[in-house]
Amino acid sequence: MIEDDLSRAPRRLFTPRLRLETPRIEHAEAVMASINASLPDLRFIAWGQRAVDLVWAQSFTRRGERFVDDGDALIYYAFERETGAFAGNLDLHHFEFDVPRCQIGYVADSRHAGRGLMHEAASAMVDVAFSLGFMRIEAQSDVENRRAIRFALGLGFREEGVLHAYERDERGSLRDVVLLARLHPSLATGA
C-alpha cells in the first residue's frame, strides 16, 4: 500500500551533485538566506513575498518536518554535495492514494539558477514518487509563471489544460493555473 511506502520514504537522497534531506531545524539559516536572495523570482510563491527572519525560517522548517513526519508531504531540501550550498526545496504533496497520484512543487535558490541543479533534484523526486507507487504526478503553475511551466515540461510533464479562476494570489485576485502531469512509465503512451 502506498501509504505504508510513503512512511518509509528515504530521509536522504543522493544524486551526482546533490544531497537531498528532509527538513530539520539546522536548515533554517540556509532556507532564510535562499528566500531573501531569491525574492525577485518568488512572486508566484505565497510565502516568498517579503524578506524573512530566522524565527520565521525555523518555524517553516519545523512545519515541514511535521508534514513529513505526519505523512502529509514528502519534502526535501537540496544541497550541493561538494560545497554544501542550498540549491532549493522540493516536495510531493496533495496525495490521492486511491488513484494513486500526487503533486510536485519546487522552488529554486536563484543564486544557483541555470546550472541544472533543480532539474537534477526534481528528477530524483519524480523517481521517488514512481518508486513509491504513484502513477500520476501533477504540477500546477500560475499561467504567467512561464519559467515554472518550462521547467515541468523539461522534466517530461505534459500540459493538460488551464484551470480558470482556480486560486487567489497574495492580493486576493483570482488566477488561472496551468495543470501539467507526468504518468508512470507503465502508463505513458506516445500520444
Q: Where are the domains of the chain?
A: 2-183
**Per-residue model confidence (pLDDT) at position 146:** 94
Using one digit for the tens of pLDDT, what is the confidence trace for 30-85? 999 999 999 988 888 888 889 999 999 999 999 999 999 998 999 999 999 999 99
Q: Which residue has the higher pLDDT, 48 or 16?
A: 16
**Per-residue model confidence (pLDDT) at position 188:** 67
Q: Are 50 and 79 contacting, i.e. CB atoms less than 8 angstroms apart?
A: no
**Per-residue model confidence (pLDDT) at position 14:** 97
**Per-residue model confidence (pLDDT) at position 4:** 62
Q: How confident is the model at residue 7 (pLDDT cuts 50, 70, 90)?
A: confident
Sheet with 86-96, edge to edge strand ranges: 12-14, 18-21, 74-80, 86-96, 101-108, 136-142, 174-183, 158-168
**CATH classification of 2-183 is 3.20.20.70, yes or no?**
no
> How many CA atoms does the CB half-sphere of 98 hold within 13 Å?
0
Chain centroid, CA 96 distance in Å: 17
User: Does 5 score more than 70 pLDDT?
Assistant: no
User: Does 172 score more than 90 pLDDT?
Assistant: no
User: Does 91 score more than 80 pLDDT?
Assistant: yes
Q: Tell me the average pLDDT across 145-155.
A: 96
The helix/strand count (H/E) of the chain reads as 5, 8
> Which position has the grid cell 508566484?
44
User: Does 174 score more than 70 pLDDT?
Assistant: yes
Strand partners, 78: 20, 88
Reading the block at residue 51, the C-alpha cell is 524578506
Please state, in angstroms and rounded to a whole number, the distance separating the CA atoms of residues 103 and 182.
10
